Structure formats: C-alpha cells, structure tokens
Amino acid sequence: MKTGQINVQTENIFPIIKKFLYSDHEIFLRELVSNASDASQKLKFFASNGEFKGSVEDQKVEVILDTKANTLTIRDNGLGMTEDEIDKYINQIAFSGAEEFVEKYKGKEGAEQIIGHFGLGFYSSFMVAEKVQIKTLSYKKGAKAVQWESNGSPEYTIEEIKKKEIGTDIVLFISEESKEFSEKQRIQEILDKYCKFLSIPVVFGTKTEYIDDPKGEKDKDGKVKRVANEVPNNINNTTPAWTKKPSEISDDDYSTFYRELYPANMDSPLFHIHLNVDYPFNLTGILYFPKLKENIEVQKNKINLYSNQVFITDNVEQIVPEFLTLLHGVIDSPDIPLNVSRSYLQSDGNVKKISSHITKKVADKLASMYKNDRKDFEEKWDDLKIFVQYGALSDEKFGEKAKKFSLVKSTKNEFFSIEEYKEKVATLQTNKDDKVVMLYTNDPVEQFGFVKKANDRGYDVLHVDGPIAPHWIAKLEQSYENISFARVDADTLDKLIQKDEETPSKLSKEEEEVLKPLFESVVDKEKFTVQFESMNSDDAPIIITQPEFIRRMMEQQKMGGGGFYGAFPEMHSLMVNANHDKIQEILKTDTDEVKTVKIKQLTDIALLSQGLLKGEALSLFIDRSIEKV
C-alpha cells in the first residue's frame, strides 16, 4: 500500500468543500452518476473505433444502497482507471486559482457553482461521506485493479485489489450528519430529479411488480394468481424525445413526452418547437407553448435545462430572455457553462448566442405559422397573445419580428395585422394630425353603447383585452409613428377622432353658466367634471367617459408599473351634449327646481348605461321611474 498527498495547496480545502461549496448537497449524486455515465460513453467510443475489443452491450450505472453498512456505491462498467490515471485525474486536482476563488466567495451566493468549474465533481462526494473508495479496473491491456481511499483529509492510500470486471465502483461511507443519503426514498428522489433522461441506463436496486403467475396457478375463482416479481428499478428513459430527429417522432410522441415532463399538468400545449443546432454551439431541445393563464407570474420556471441529458436546473432565467421562461420544455446544451455563477452566465458569449438563437427560432416559428396557416394562427391567437405581447415588450428584436404576426381582433371577430388594420380604417379614422385612431373596447358588453355609437358613425372598434394589453398598446404607439389607440368610452367620438370641421354649439357661454351648477348639484363633484360639448344632435344627451390618460395610469398602477405613489383617484367626465333637444328643452323650463329634476333623471340614465348607478341612487331611480308609468 502507498500513501500520498492529494495535490492541493491548502489543507483547508476539504472543510470548505463540505461546508460552503454546494448549498445543495444532493448534487454529489448527479456528479458521480454523470461521471459513471461518461465512463460508459467513453468505453463505447473506444469499442466503436476498435480500441476496445470487449462487449459494450450492457453498459449501465448501478446505484447500490447498503443501509446496514451505511454505504452508497455508484458502479459502472465503463472504461475504468489505471493507477497512473487516478494520480492524474483524481490526485492532481486541476486547482489553479481555485483556492483564491474559494476564499473570496465562500458562503456567498453562487459559490456552490464552482466545484464543477474547477473539475471538482468527484470531490463533491466528501460533502456527504466521511470516507470514499474508488475501486477500478481499466479496460487497457494488462491493467491492474486498484483501490484508492481517502477520508477527506488531503491524505489518500492506494493499493492493488482483486476486481474482475472492467469499470469503477465509487463507494461512499455516508457520514452521520448526512444520514438522509442512506435512505432509499431520498436517493430515489434525487435520481428521479437529475437522471430521468440520462443516456446510459441507471438502475437503483429492484422494485416489486405484480404479474400473472408464470406457473399459471389459479386462485379459488379460477383466475390466474397475481404474484410479486422483483424487477430492476430502472430510473431513466435513455432516449427522450429531444435527442431524436424531428422526422423520427410523431405529434403523439411530443405529447407523450410533455406528459413525461409535467405529469401534473393537465392542459395540452398549443404547439412545439424542436431545437437542433450544432454550429456554432450545441443545442437540442423541445419548447412547448402552453395555454397561458391570466396570471403569468406563477407559470414561469417550467423549462428544464440539461447538459448531455443530465438535469441541471429548472431556473433558466438569465439563460433565455425572460419572456421565454413562459414556455415549457427542455433545453440541452453542453456549451452552457452550467457550473459557474449566474451573474457570470449573463456575460458569457455562448449564453448570449444561445439566447438570441432561441428567440429567433421562436419568432420564426410564429412567423411561419402565421404565413402557412393564417386561419389556424388566428384560432390560436387568444392563447398566444400574452406571450407575443410580453415578448414584444421585453425584447427589442422579438418585438421587431412580432410586428409581422401580431394580430388585432375587431368586435366583429375579424383578425387583422396592424398594417392591414391601419389600411382598413385609415379613410374614416384619420384625425386632423394625420394619425390613424384605432378605437377599442376591452369589454364589448359593458361598453356596448359606445361601440354601437362608433359603428353607427361608420367607425370600426377593436376588442383588445388581456393583462398586459395596456402596455402593449403603448408600445405599438411608440413603434408606429402614425397610429394611436383610444378606448371608445374615453371621450366623445368627436374628441377621440378630431376632424377639422367642428359642429357649432347651440348653447351660449351664458346658458352653459346657468346649467353647469345644476349638473354639478346632482353628482359627486370630486369624481365628475362637467363639460359641455357640441356633439351631433343624435348623440346621447349626456355621455360619461373616463379619459384615456387617467385610465391607463390606473391600469399601469394596478400592474405595478407607472411609478405612482398612492392611489390614483377615479375620475370621470360628464359630457353634456349642447346640441341635444332635451338640453334645449331643459334650458327653457321655468324653475331651477324643475330643471334639476330633469337633469337628475338624464344623468342617472347616463350613469345607468355605464353601470355606475348603484345602491340607494339606483333604487330611488327605479322608484321614480315606476311612478312615471
């Protein structure tokens, strides 16, 4: 037996590995299983190029838990290591700069990421084990089996052992404080999390299945008996859908894989994108478009990030643009530096390229769906729009591309691209400043009266709704110089689409002065401003509106944007149609008292039509109206 010193510059590295590096101790198993799987892949490669003559048919990784001995063994039949190789790959830790790094970052967020960065994957086993053995036999001709052992101090021993099979056993003697890792349930859970799609089969003991009795024995009812049968407990699907060529898989396979990824998710995705890049970086994956619910925040973090089929994280923020985190699915790339801190990721060139590649793919997919099957795209639009709008708002490049396939829907349920719609309404709805005014409602039922008035005048009205529509509209107004949006109930039609010619008013200034206080006496002055407008005589006598500006402020404030402190007061305009016959009539009635009664009735009707007449005021109005019958 020989002893030696693991080549680290400090004696303190192991306590640091144990305590500080990974906050998640469970990843030791990911590191060891992926090393084992790498070893198998390498041997398969040597078999394929003739360097290894034996069989690689039965490559697998076995995880063996011995609860009595408190050991966990990760066994592979991969390429194994010679004594020299142990010295090179295990003893001489490539450690330049690591010491300094650890000193600087210990205990800080992100420090847990550095093990892999410095090739310390194997040493993460010391986070949970008080002693680790490597028993290994190399595939090389004449190689001798050796056992390496260390208790986590920089000292190790190495000796020859008897081992017939090529491959490596990593034996962990689980420490007292890490007892959880000698529980079957816990190990199963970790394997399910990280190794579900590993490319080499992973087997964890056996499990019991109930099958028809192979001897055909029957129970008293004459049915074949069900008997317990121990079968290997296979952890993984070694060929998940994303590793296959799109031409090899059917739509059903994509759905099945979606279920495999999200067993708890009942909804089916709208469609998917299969990513497959090998230059200038490696990336495979499948992204699914879910049906988005109104509350988009809770739906993030559904994309799983893999590196060579080893699960890394389901938190892909900073790897893909934020709006893409609304998608579901898998991204697999060996080129994302997975083990370094997240702040570093943002500035990594590969990550930037990958991120813009995915953005482009997603935009291209939407553009081609729009182009190839417009009708189908329109049918999906209501489920897609939040994603597209969110993307347009948060990613300049995506926004530029999305102009081509962003749709608006009219209240007559017709879809248009922005350009198409502009063309459609330009003739009638261009105002005196040469802007095309796009009228919209967010609630065609509640704003029915306004929509109808607009339609009566030949104007078209859009149906624009959804949680981020207000922001999206503002964005469109910025990116197209000559369009503006106005909600139908924001002002009178004459004001919403101002033309050069003005309708003359039938009320003089003096007459307005007489009527104004009377109107103000029937409403809450804090909430309503009274204005006289010269509208068409066939417009309603009174129209109650909420200015576009105030409403947008309130909406943005509700969504946490806008930057206003305190509540924005609810404000309405009470617009009196100076040209309506009823107003003229009221002006001519005798006393202020009679005038006020009539004004009250007209105002209540206007409030009622807006859903603003409530409680006692509503009940009084009803009583009054019944009396008049």
Q: Which residues bind Mg ion (CB under 5 A)?
A: 35, 121
Residue 470 binds which entry of ligand ADP, Mg ion, none, CB below 5-8 Å type-dependent: none
CB of 114 to ligand ADP, least distance (A): 12
Toward ligand ADP, which CB reaches closer, 92 or 521?
92
Toward ligand ADP, which CB reaches closer, 89 or 344?
89
Toward ligand ADP, which CB reaches closer, 24 or 592?
24
In this structure, are residues 364 and 404 in contact, taking their beta carbons and an 8 Å threshold?
no
In this structure, are residues 114 and 98 in contact, taking their beta carbons and an 8 Å threshold?
yes
- Residue with CB nearest ligand ADP? 121
CB of 389 to Mg ion, least distance (A): 42
Residues 24, 26, 27, 31, CA torsion sign: positive
Radius of gyration of the chain (CA): 36
- Residue with CB nearest Mg ion? 121
CB of 326 to ligand ADP, least distance (A): 33
CB of 180 to Mg ion, least distance (A): 22
- d(CA 497, CA 483) in angstroms, rounded, equals 12
CB of 468 to Mg ion, least distance (A): 43
Residue at token pair 């039949």: 77
Q: Which residues bind ligand ADP (CB under 6 A)?
A: 31, 35-36, 39, 76, 78-79, 81, 89-90, 119-122, 168
Toward Mg ion, which CB reaches closer, 35 or 359?
35
Residue 83 binds which entry of ligand ADP, Mg ion, none, CB below 5-8 Å type-dependent: none
Toward ligand ADP, which CB reaches closer, 35 or 236?
35
Residue 52 binds which entry of ligand ADP, Mg ion, none, CB below 5-8 Å type-dependent: none
User: What are the Cα distances from residue 470, in Å, to 328, 407, 467, 544?
Assistant: 26, 15, 8, 21
Residue 455 makes CB contacts below 8 A (sequence gap 6+) with 461
Toward Mg ion, which CB reaches closer, 121 or 152?
121
Closest CA to 381 of 411, 358, 408: 408
In this structure, are residues 411 and 444 in contact, taking their beta carbons and an 8 Å threshold?
yes
CB of 31 to ligand ADP, least distance (A): 6
Residue 600 makes CB contacts below 8 A (sequence gap 6+) with 522
Closest CA to 398 of 449, 324, 482: 324
User: What are the Cα distances from residue 469, in Å, to 83, 321, 441, 476?
Assistant: 65, 20, 11, 10
- d(CA 516, CA 587) in angstroms, rounded, equals 11
Toward ligand ADP, which CB reaches closer, 134 or 292?
134
Element of type H or E holding 591: none
CB of 353 to ligand ADP, least distance (A): 23
User: What are the Cα distances from residue 46, in Å, to 21, 43, 235?
Assistant: 34, 5, 26
CB of 194 to Mg ion, least distance (A): 13
Residue 89 binds which entry of Mg ion, ligand ADP, none, CB below 5-8 Å type-dependent: ligand ADP
CB of 180 to ligand ADP, least distance (A): 22
- d(CA 240, CA 256) in angstroms, rounded, equals 10
- d(CA 46, CA 42) in angstroms, rounded, equals 6
Toward ligand ADP, which CB reaches closer, 121 or 399?
121
Toward ligand ADP, which CB reaches closer, 65 or 81?
81
